[in-house]
Structure 1
Amino acid sequence: MLRRLLLVLIVVAIVVGGLGFLKYRQIQGEIAMFSQPQPPATVADTRVKAMTWQPELHAVGSLQAVQGVMVSNQVPGQVQQILFESGDMVEKNQALVQLDTEVDEADLAGLEAARSLAETQLGRNRRLLADRAVSQGDFDEASSRLQQTEAEVAAKRAVIEKKTIRAPFAGQLGIRQVDLGQYLAAGTSIVALEALDPVYVDYALPERELAQIAVGQTVEARVAAYPDASFPGTIQAISPAVDQATRNVRVRALLKNPDHRLRPGMFAKVATLLPEQDQVLTLPREAITFNTYGDSVFMILDGEGEQAGKLVVQRRQIQTGAVRDQRVAVLSGLEEGDRVVSAGQVKLRNGAEVRITEDEPAGSGDAAQ
């Protein structure tokens, strides 16, 4: 029994020793592997470039028609003709709706007959007054009667004219809101009319920017419907007062809109252009690591000592500014011509050796100039 137990202990010792030896060899291999120099990481590079940027004041606003009304009727009547289609382009004074004027024209005929009679009576009294056959009072009464009938005729003609509803200015019509045969009370909405070229964009800027803006200054507007298009314009008016609630000043700019792509009510991003500023240091956006502790880049430097003749990287904290066309302004921390990593930063650490790939990533060129 004792010999059997001793034999088991010897077998267990041999197994444990063998496993320990294998683990020891594995650890030694890993130590040897990690002690070997790591191959250089492959990265893309770019350089800090000085570019000419035009500073801008950014805001959001809304587009407004230079002229826009809801066309309505001044006098009541029944719709006899509709002379437009929804969405039509119309000229100033173009007829849109014709109301029934049959009764008014009959009244006008009666008034014109009364005027004719008044003219005849006045002519007769004028001759009789010369012969002193009528009094001056009778003549004055006949003259007043003629003036009254002429006024009634003019008033009735004005009513008939107002029953032809016309476009007050050139523009584009909206959706028709009346039907043939419908009776319209005075002031009934018929159709919206908007003048689309040019259009206004209204926006607000903080009061601290008031000294940098002036009437005639250039602006550029962008809308979501055409994200790749920019619509230039000029400031037309600046509010004389600052809003006490927001401390903003209201600004109105005029935008040309010959193709009618801009529509009243659109949301717009507006950039007010300031005088050009030269030599802004910039980097592609992808070259910068952004985080809550500050922005940084990996600078590419020539190695020293054991790394002489090789390229190494060093993390550098920088201060960034405005972003434009995927390039970021560098306010401090770098100088023009400094070489930085533009792709592959995740696998890097301070002092790591790198190898530069030949392909430069998109966005590191000069497209923003």
Structure 2
Amino acid sequence: MRTFRRFLIVLVFLGIVLGGIFGYKFYQFGQMKEQMSQPQPPAEVSAAVATLQSWTPAIKSVGSVEAVNGIQVANEVPGVIQEIAFESGDMVKQGDVLIRLDSQIDEAALRTRRAEAQLAQQEFKRIENLLPRRAVSQSQFDEAKANYDAARARVNEAEAQLNKKVIRAPFDGKLGLRLVDQGEYIATGTPIVEINMLDPIYLDYTLSERNLPRVAQGYEVEATVAAVPEETFSGQVSAINTSVNPETRTVRIRATLDNPEGKLRPGMFATIMTRQPEDREVITLPRTAVSYNTYGDYVFLIEENDQGEKTVTRRSVTTGDVNNDRVAILSGLEEGDQVVSKGLLRLRAGQRVTIQEEAADSEQAAEASES
């Protein structure tokens, strides 16, 4: 009996506690419902107007600067460096001497070959004069001629070997750092100096296969590099690869740029804009007015309700190219539509808004200056 009474007391106590909790939650819910039923104050936003502008369509990409010709100069034959005829960073012309290797042995070998050739020539002429008088046989004449031809060939071989002791610039260009020293023995294929042709210069980059119909040889390109951020370099598309990379679904593009001052160097990272030949009219907005979303981009369109209040409606849009701080709107808006340019994260569809007049005025002034 006593156990039952204790159990009953516990049940009553628990009922009071739970009842109090549920009652407090019910009271909170009522307060929230009452607050939500009250009209919310309008949110302050900045506004922008969809503007029709004339744009030159462009495709943005990244790539790297490449030399038209660029190699590490190396030697074909081993030897000791007798003379270095350049300094690091020199500009050279094709055929300019870079280094000379010790060639005493080769010069002596050439003199020997020339003496042998001279002797073979004399023997050949003597037999040639005797042949009409039948003082020598045809086989002796043929053998003398073959010996003379072989001797001349050995002279040519010795001259070619001697010429390889002089390393020359293979093309016009700018030299890099000297990698060898005078008196040093260098084995075959030792790097001597880097040489690059800097004017003109190539710009290699890739574009998605979907952009392939939008690019062709002769299209203008503009490039910027971090080393010269205040300058834009112009050129033209000079070649388009004949195949698409099956792994990345991209195609390689090559542009040729003038580089008379040598500001562009091979290996530089570049940002490239490939421009199409004709302008077109597009509706544009500030980039801050567009909310980029995985499920589609959208803007908040500002409209006026029956009570004369400004409200916002979420409107899906299709975006295009970006030019400076403005983005092209391909569909979803018309010229003159007013949208929220700042404060998108605080908004929901149907919410009342007030436009910050100062921000709106400055935005319109900026648009007027652009047009």
Q: 2:135 aligned with 1:137, yes or no?
A: no
Instruction: Report matched runs for 1:166-315 at 5 Å.
Output: 166-276=168-278, 278-286=280-288, 295-297=298-300, 299=302, 313-315=310-312
Say if 1:313 and 1:89 are closer, same or farther in 2 by CA, change over 3 A: farther
Look up the SS of the partner of 1:202 in the other structure.
strand
> Quick one: distance in 1 between partners of 2:119 and 2:176?
48
> Quick one: distance in 1 between partners of 2:145 and 2:294?
92
Which amino acid is 1:202 matched to?
Answer: D
Q: 2:354 aligned with 1:357, yes or no?
A: no
Distance apart, 1:256 and its partner CA? 2.3
> Quick one: distance in 1 between partners of 2:261 and 2:140?
67
Which range moved further: 70-79 or 222-231? 222-231
Say if 1:364 and 1:90 are closer, same or farther in 2 by CA, change over 3 A: same
Say if 1:142 and 1:321 are closer, same or farther in 2 by CA, change over 3 A: same
> Quick one: distance in 2 between partners of 1:355 and 1:187?
71
Question: Is the CA contact 1:243–1:249 (under 8 Å) kept in the aligned structure 2?
Answer: yes
Aligned length: 327
Partner of 1:327: 326
Which range moved further: 93-102 or 259-268? 259-268
Question: TM-score, normalization: structure 2?
Answer: 0.74
Q: Calculate the aligned-residue CA RMSD, in Å.
A: 3.5
Which amino acid is 1:296 matched to?
Answer: V
Say if 1:147 and 1:48 are closer, same or farther in 2 by CA, change over 3 A: same
Partner of 1:91: 93
Gaps of 5+ in 2: 1-40
Partner of 1:68: 70
Distance apart, 1:347 and its partner CA? 9.5
Question: Is the CA contact 2:303–2:312 (under 8 Å) kept in the aligned structure 1?
Answer: no
Question: Is the CA contact 2:65–2:265 (under 8 Å) kept in the aligned structure 1?
Answer: yes
Question: CA offsets per residue over residues 249-272 of structure 1, 9 Å max, x none?
Answer: 222222222222222222222332
Gaps of 5+ in 1: 1-37
> Quick one: distance in 1 between partners of 2:250 and 2:346?
47
Partner of 1:25: none
Question: Is the CA contact 1:52–1:276 (under 8 Å) kept in the aligned structure 2?
Answer: no
Distance apart, 1:178 and its partner CA? 1.4
> Quick one: distance in 1 between partners of 2:89 and 2:173?
10
Question: TM-score, normalization: structure 1?
Answer: 0.75
Partner of 2:117: 115
Look up the SS of the partner of 2:182 in the other structure.
coil
Distance apart, 1:357 and its partner CA? 3.0
Decide which of 50, 53, 56 is 1:54's aligned counterpart. Answer: 56
Distance apart, 1:216 and its partner CA? 2.5
Distance apart, 1:122 and its partner CA? 2.5
Percent of residue pairs bearing the same amino acid type: 44
> Quick one: distance in 1 between partners of 2:344 and 2:250?
42
> Quick one: distance in 1 between partners of 2:366 and 2:168?
58
